[in-house]
Amino acid sequence: CFTAAEAAKLTMKRIVESLEASSGTGITGISTGIGILDNITGGLNNGDLVIVAGRASMGKTSFDIGLQVTGLRNNVATGFISAEMPVNKVAARVMSAWGRFNLTWTRSIPKDAETQARAMHALLESQKWLGQAPLHINDKPGITIAEVARQARQWKRLYDIKVLHVDYIQFLDISADARTPRHEKVGMIVKGLKNLAKELNIPVVALSQVSRAVEDRNNKRPMMSDLSDSSEIEKTADVVITLYRDEVYNQDSADKGIIELGVIKNRDGATGVVRAAWVAEHATVADIDTMHGEYHGY
């Protein structure tokens, strides 16, 4: 138990420590790499459960990989539970996002000599970087929330991870009666992730599906009620960010290359929509203000 004075002192101590660790960025958490989003959320903050939600092909994993690469560039020790994607594909996406080269190069090297030379240089440089990056990956299929917690505690103890990413909630499992409804299982998983964030005092970023109901509306931007399987996500999450790319639905969209990041819940701050750049070649998301000249190195 704490007195009010002790709680206030502890709060100020943590704020000062966070600001000192932010290297002059002025935010209290780990930077997302997208300035306006950082201004709204303060970055990824310790103890917070951050939900990133979107329909298929909206870029959930790409956005999350972008968050990871931003942190890794700043030497933020990162744990990644990849329940959907095998480790080789995770590495390919991380390398492409960091090296800013075409993701297809991780599957098929161009045949012309000049492009092939650039591709190999990019691949080798990104492999070298990733080999030294403080990233730890568990790609076990069907992993349970209990196993996620054990893995995260181990990473915290051995490598002092500063953030945990989970891709994604609906791919996790839980030891429960087979008759337990799916929405109740998801609710237990979400509570488990939130408890883990508090226990380890790190942000946990978890991806989530969005209901098919959005496909039946004219405005297909996800709302809180569209989060799949459980209202517990809405109640438990500290921050909820939805993703929307108009070009997925409208071939002639004026917003090609744009992804909308809808901060629809922010327990400690404002909400709003942030427009960011969708960089299809690297399957990642970038700050529009810094994209020009930065994401075309290869």
Active site residues: 84
Beta-bridge partner residues of 138: 81
Q: Which two tokens stand for residue 202?
A: 């790190």
What's the length of the chain? 298
| DSSP reduced 3-state for 176 | coil
Backbone φ, ψ for residue 138 (5° rounding): -125, 115
3-state secondary structure 11-28: HHHHHHHHHHHCCCCCCC
Question: CB–CB of 179/24 below 8 Å?
Answer: no
Give the CA distances from residue 87 to residues 80, 82, 92, 146, 272, in Å, rounded to whole numbers and listed in that order.
Answer: 10, 8, 9, 21, 34
| Alpha helix (H) residue ranges in the chain | 4-21, 35-41, 60-73, 87-99, 113-132, 145-159, 182-200, 232-236, 246-249, 288-291
